[in-house]
Amino acid sequence: MHTLSLRELADGLAKARFSSEELTRHFLARIAAHNPALNAYITVLEEQALAGARAADKQRSSGDVHPLTGVPFAHKDIFCTEGVRTSCGSKMLDNFIAPYNATVVEKMAAAGMINLGKTNMDEFAMGSSNETSFYGPVRNPWDTNCVPGGSSGGSAAAVAAGLAPAATGTDTGGSIRQPSALCNLTGLKPTYGRVSRYGMIAFASSLDQAGPMARTAEDAALMLQVMAGFDEKDSTSIDCTVPDYSASLNNSLKGKVIGVPSEFFAEGLSDAVASRTRAALSEYEKMGAVLKDISLPHSHLSIPCYYVIAPAEASTNLSRYDGVRYGHRCDNPLDLADLYTRTREEGFGDEVKRRILVGTYALSAGFYDAYYRKAQRIRRLIKNDFTEAFKSVDIIAGPTSPSPAFALGEKVDDPLTMYLEDMYTIAVNLAGVPALSIPAGMVDNKPIGLQLIGRDFAEADILNAAHQFQLQTDWHKQFAPAFA
């Protein structure tokens, strides 16, 4: 059952081939057997999941239900979940029991989906390898000596190893797409404002978006359907109709123009990933799409721009962890200043501290114009690149990540090299447009991803293109051999 897609599971439940309780027990047993080796979950919600599954079975037997009723999944531990520890991968929130549900959590529950547990992640979603988690690193099911990517590394590993059929993730600079690429999943970052951020612990508020991580584009469409929509509790949520994402999956790609930015194939990309990505792109030509060389001339500025804006917003967002209201508090503070200082010294890890320092510096009076304002201007140029490109193309495509999964420990002491992991994903967050990563082949027996970027609110277009690719290829069906 753990190799089936969400769609197949929903089908099986509808035809009573198995019950939600059986399904949930199966995944809980897999978690018990394999999580010790992978560390994909921080919290497993065994009793709650089984109770939910029994309720779902009852509901299903007594009438019309949402198609995903009784289908298990996992939440990244960044989504506030009422009555459940919500740690955000940090010691700071190790003791935090959320008093309310994030909107995404509410929506999944309202659809009758069963939350198996909360997945491991880089601390406060800062990282590309899941090595900054207070709960220890996650291992990649394709090669347990390698990282699963980050920051949604626990979600990626859980789905790739069959410890959940799908999971939620969040993406501020690549954290859904890059781990999806490294673990052979389909992961989608929606347009900024498409999915509510209410109750999703903030990292960089102008960039954060939640999205689905699943095996297939079909599954991602089903899950996005549940997650998306206007929320008055999020001031940046956009009130525009949510289309039926499954309805357009089978549209023909004949005549569609796919822009291939030269900057995505320049220095920094491994040769093997480049040629595999080009081979994947040629599939689109076979389907009748047209590949067009384009340029996103400011892409080389996206990493420096992001590493001013994201830390600046993070330093502001993380100022709330002061030991007063919730979360970790140091023992026996001498006075208020000591309480703040020691609480934060003890509660945050090194990468989080680095971001707070950089962000506070960039926002400080003497440097604001030189860094923060400058970065905002560059952000506009990056957005304009996409607007310009989408005048002549329907979709932009390229690699998700410059190389396949790397070894644990390989980049962790070299933040600048680690930051380059997101060289193709970050511009998308700065521009706010939607993008996804799909399995696109193997390099050194490890999966790589193809990234498809769409116009604002054109999630349906990139899901359509992803699904058509998956009808022609089998990469997404490959399952991490050690966990099959």
Residue 171 Cβ vs ligand GLN, minimum distance, rounded to whole Å:
5
Residue among 103 and 130 whose Cβ is closer to ligand GLN: 130
> What SS3 state is found at 414?
coil
Residue among 115 and 155 whose Cβ is closer to ligand GLN: 155
Residue 89 Cβ vs ligand GLN, minimum distance, rounded to whole Å:
11
Q: What angle do CA 183, 188, 193 make, to 5 degrees?
A: 145
CA-based end-to-end distance of the chain: 11
Rounded CA separation 280/265 (Å): 14
Residue among 310 and 312 whose Cβ is closer to ligand GLN: 310
Scanning the structure block, which residue is given the tokens 């740690």? 87
| Burial of 391 per CB tally in 10 Å (0-12, 13-18, 19+) | exposed
Residue 198 Cβ vs ligand GLN, minimum distance, rounded to whole Å:
18
Residue among 71 and 305 whose Cβ is closer to ligand GLN: 305
Strands (E), 166-237: 167-171, 186-189, 209-214
Q: How far is CA 161 from CA 129, 142, 175, 436, in A?
A: 17, 8, 18, 20
Closest CA to 52 of 105, 119, 88: 105
- Which amino acid would we find at residue 445? N
Is the separation of the CB atoms in 95 and 137 below 8 Å?
Answer: no
Question: Interface with ligand GLN by CB under 6 A: which residues?
Answer: 125-128, 151, 171-175, 203, 310, 422
Residue 150 Cβ vs ligand GLN, minimum distance, rounded to whole Å:
6
Helix residue spans in 147-270 (DSSP H): 153-160, 177-182, 217-227
Scanning the structure block, which residue is given the tokens 């549209």? 251
Rounded CA separation 356/92 (Å): 14
Report, as residue numbers or ranges, the catalytic residues.
Answer: 76, 151, 175
User: Is there a cis peptide before residue 151, judged by omega within 30 degrees of 0?
Assistant: yes
Residue among 7 and 411 whose Cβ is closer to ligand GLN: 411
Residue among 127 and 259 whose Cβ is closer to ligand GLN: 127
Closest CA to 115 of 188, 32, 180, 20: 20
> What SS3 state is found at 292?
strand
Residue among 281 and 308 whose Cβ is closer to ligand GLN: 308
Residue 426 Cβ vs ligand GLN, minimum distance, rounded to whole Å:
7
Residue 430 Cβ vs ligand GLN, minimum distance, rounded to whole Å:
12
Is the separation of the CB atoms in 13 and 222 below 8 Å?
Answer: no
Residue among 357 and 484 whose Cβ is closer to ligand GLN: 357
- Order of strands, edge to edge, in the sheet holding 209-214? 41-44, 114-119, 72-76, 167-171, 209-214, 186-189, 435-443, 446-453, 395-399, 257-261, 290-294
Residue 173 Cβ vs ligand GLN, minimum distance, rounded to whole Å:
3
